[in-house]
Structure formats: C-alpha cells, structure tokens
Amino acid sequence: MSKISKMFFKLRSYTPIPFLMLMVIFANPNVISLIVGFTIALLGELIRFLGVSWAGSETRTTAVTGGTYLIISGPFGYVRNPLYWGNILLYFGIGIMSWALVPYLQIAALIFFAVQYYFIVYEEAKYLKQEFGTEYENYCKHVSNFFPRLTPYKNDKVKQPPYNPKAGLKSEKRTLQAFIGISIVILIIWIIKNL
C-alpha cells in the first residue's frame, strides 16, 4: 500500500472531523437547509447501513485492506463502493443542514473526500484483484466504482455472506451516533438563532 493510501485508509474515520467542526462553528441553518440536508444525509446513512449489513464489520478495519468475501449483493450490485457514496452523501447532507460557508465548505469537502477515496479505492482494488482474480475483474466490467447501475449485477458463482441487518446496525452504531449528535447540535443552533 502506498504511503498516502495507507494514511488515508488508516485515518478515514477521523478525516471528517475538521469539516464537521467547521460546519458547527459557522452553522447558519434555516428550515429548508435542515430538511433538504437531513434528507440527503439520511439517504447516505441508509446506503451505508445496507452496505454494512452485507459486508459486516470488516468495513471498520483501519489496519490493512482486506475482506473475506467479494461482496456483490445489495448496494454492491449497483456500485462497487456504496459505503463511500454513503459517506459523501452523509457529509454533504450535514453540510447542507448547517448551511455553513455555502458553497465553499461543501465544495472543499467534496473535493477532499473524492481525493481520499480515490487513493483508498485504488489500494482496495489491488487487494481484491489479487484475492478474487477473475471474479473481481468480471465484477469490474459490469459495475462502476462510483457511477451506479440501474439494475443490480448478479453472479451466482460468487459466494456471498448472509444479509445481516442486526450486525449492520451494530457496525453502524458509531456513525449513527455521530449523525444523530451532529444533527441535534445543528438543530439547537437553528433554534437558538430563531429565539
């Protein structure tokens, strides 16, 4: 793994923190930004939840790239990196909710996360190609890294783990807590500004 990819992979759970801090410090929410932003963020969290309900807690590792299965079920049947799609929607939605430094902070965050995920995905793809060979190459021919298909990709020859929403909820606990917490903070800021 290259040094920059390794750094992004290891720190990917923490890189949103500076953006979230700026979103709170410079928050200027309004009713429309709260509703639209929350809807976008909720969609991102739903995509993440569905993804981890298929992929399990392996998505939480920060030490090395890896995985027991080549996941092609659920949202992975539409796009190869649904968790990163979910993250981008989640962060973008929170940015819209806060209405902080619009549009500069949101654009900066989108650019930063696009670069970060580019490096992470590149390394993950190298591992998956080495581990799953032809199955992964075939998957790549039919499913894009970031542009979703309209219909799900299917390949009955690729063994899949069971769909497990209970494990998905357990894996998503920290993300859900952060999402709910930051949403409440932004809502409180809006209430205070409108007293």
pLDDT at 182 over 50: yes
pLDDT at 162 over 80: yes
At 184 the pLDDT is 97
At 64 the pLDDT is 47
Cα 153 off chain centre by: 20
Domain boundaries, the chain: 3-193
Q: Which two tokens stand for residue 112?
A: 């930063």
pLDDT digit string, tens, across residues 54-113: 988 665 544 445 567 899 999 999 999 999 999 999 999 999 999 999 999 999 999 999
Maximum Cα interatomic distance, the chain, rounded to a whole number of Å = 61
Give the Cβ contact number of residue 68 at 10 Å. Answer: 11
Cβ atoms of 72 and 143 closer than 8 Å: yes
At 1 the pLDDT is 55
Q: Is the peptide bond before 16 cis (omega within 30 degrees of 0)?
A: no
Residue 31 banded pLDDT, cuts 50, 70, 90: very high
Specify the pTM. Answer: 0.89
The whole-chain average pLDDT of the chain stands at 91
Q: How close are the terminal C-alpha atoms of the chain, in Å? A: 52
At 6 the pLDDT is 80
Cα 91 off chain centre by: 8
Between CA 171 and CA 190 the distance in angstroms is 31
